[in-house]
Amino acid sequence: MITTQASRASHPSHARRASAGPAARRPRLVYVLLIALVVMFVLPLLWALSSSFKHRGDIFTYPPQPLPSPFTLENYTRLLETQPFWGWFATSTVVAVVSTAVSVFVCALAGFAFAKYRFRGKRLLFDVMFSSMAVPFAVIVVPLFVMLVKAGVTNVYFSLIVPWVAPAFGIFMMRQYAEQAVPDSVLEAARIDGASEFGLFTRVVLPLLRPALGALAVWGFLNSYNSFLWPLIVVSDPAQYTLPLGIQSLYAAEARQVDLVLAGSVLAAIPSLIMFILLRKQLLDGLTAGAVKS
C-alpha cells in the first residue's frame, strides 16, 4: 500500500494536479474581485439611468424597482424647458475641449523639452514643477483667483480654462513617455535633413507620442469637464454655470429636484462617453506603455 501511494505521488499527472490547485484558484479569485468591482461601479449608473425615467415619488420606493413603471420622459422635458441646461452644457463642453487641446499641446512640448534638451536649471525647474503635484488644488484657488482679478481678466471662459493649461502631471507623463518613445537617432536624422526644432516637434515627435496624447486628452477632458470648485468661485451668473454647478443648483433648491438632477446627470455623461469611445485605443496604449519589456 505504501508503494502504491508513493507511485501515485511520483506520477507526473498527480504532481501537476497538486501544483496546479492553488495556482488555478488565483485567476478565479481575481475574476471574482473584478466582477464585484464592475458591479459596484455599474449599479449606481444603471440606477441613475433607470430612475431618470421615473416620477419623483417612485425614485425612492422600497423595495426599489429596477425598471421604471410607468416610464416617463417628464424629467427630461421639464429639465430642458425650465432650466438653461443647454447653456450649462455648452459652457462645460467648450471649456473642456479648448483646455484639453491647449494642455495636450503644451504638456507635450514641455515634456519633450525636459526629456531631450539640455539647458541650465533644467533639474531645478523640473523638481519645482514636479513638487507642485503635492500641493492640493484647493490651496491655490484663492491666490489664483486674486491673480486673475489683479490682471483684469474677467472673461468667464478664459478664467475657466487657465488652471488646466499646463498641469504638472501632464508634463511629467509626457516627459516620461518621450524618453522611451522618441529615439535620439530619429531626432538627429531629422535635424540633418534640415528640419527646424518646431517642425521636428510637430512632424516627428507628436506622431510618436500619439498613445500618450490620447491618454492625457481623456484625463484632461474629464478633469476640466467635471471640475466643481474652481467654477464655483469664478462663475456668478447662473446662465454661465457649468454642468456640475447647474446640476448642484437643482439639488440645492428648496424643492430638492432629484428627478431633474438624475436626468441632467445622464445627459452630462454623454460627452465623457463619446470622448472615451473616440480615444479608447490611445488611452489603453498610453496606460500600458512601458508595462511590457520589448
Q: Is 235 helix (H, G, I), strand (E, B) or coil?
A: coil
pLDDT, position 104: 92
Contact between 242 and 160 under an 8 Å Cβ cutoff? The reply is yes
State the pLDDT confidence band at 89, using cuts at 50, 70 and 90. Answer: very high
* Cα–Cα distance for residue pair 113/179, rounded to 1 Å: 10
Whether the predicted pLDDT of 4 surpasses 70: no
Name the superfamily (CATH) of residues 76-288: MetI-like (1.10.3720.10)
Contact between 101 and 139 under an 8 Å Cβ cutoff? The reply is no
Closest CA to 174 of 219, 140, 136: 219
Give the best-scoring range by mean pLDDT among 49-53, 57-61, 224-228. 224-228
pLDDT, position 275: 81
Alpha helices in the chain (DSSP H): 2-10, 12-51, 56-59, 74-82, 85-116, 122-131, 137-150, 156-161, 168-181, 184-192, 197-200, 206-208, 210-225, 229-234, 243-252, 258-288
Q: How far apart are the first and last CA of the chain?
A: 53
Amino acid identity of residue 47, one-letter, is W
CA torsion through residues 30, 275, 165, 244, sign: negative
pLDDT, position 98: 94
Whether the predicted pLDDT of 291 surpasses 50: no
pLDDT, position 194: 85
State the pLDDT confidence band at 285, using cuts at 50, 70 and 90. Answer: low
Residue pLDDT, tens place only, 157-205: 888 898 888 888 999 989 988 888 888 888 888 888 888 888 888 888 8
Report field, pTM of the whole predicted structure over 0.95: no
pLDDT, position 283: 67
Whether the predicted pLDDT of 290 surpasses 70: no
Length of the chain, in residues? 294
Per DSSP, the residues of 254-283 read TT--HHHHHHHHHHHHHHHHHHHHHHHHHH
Contact between 241 and 248 under an 8 Å Cβ cutoff? The reply is no
Kindly state the average pLDDT of the residues 124-149.
87
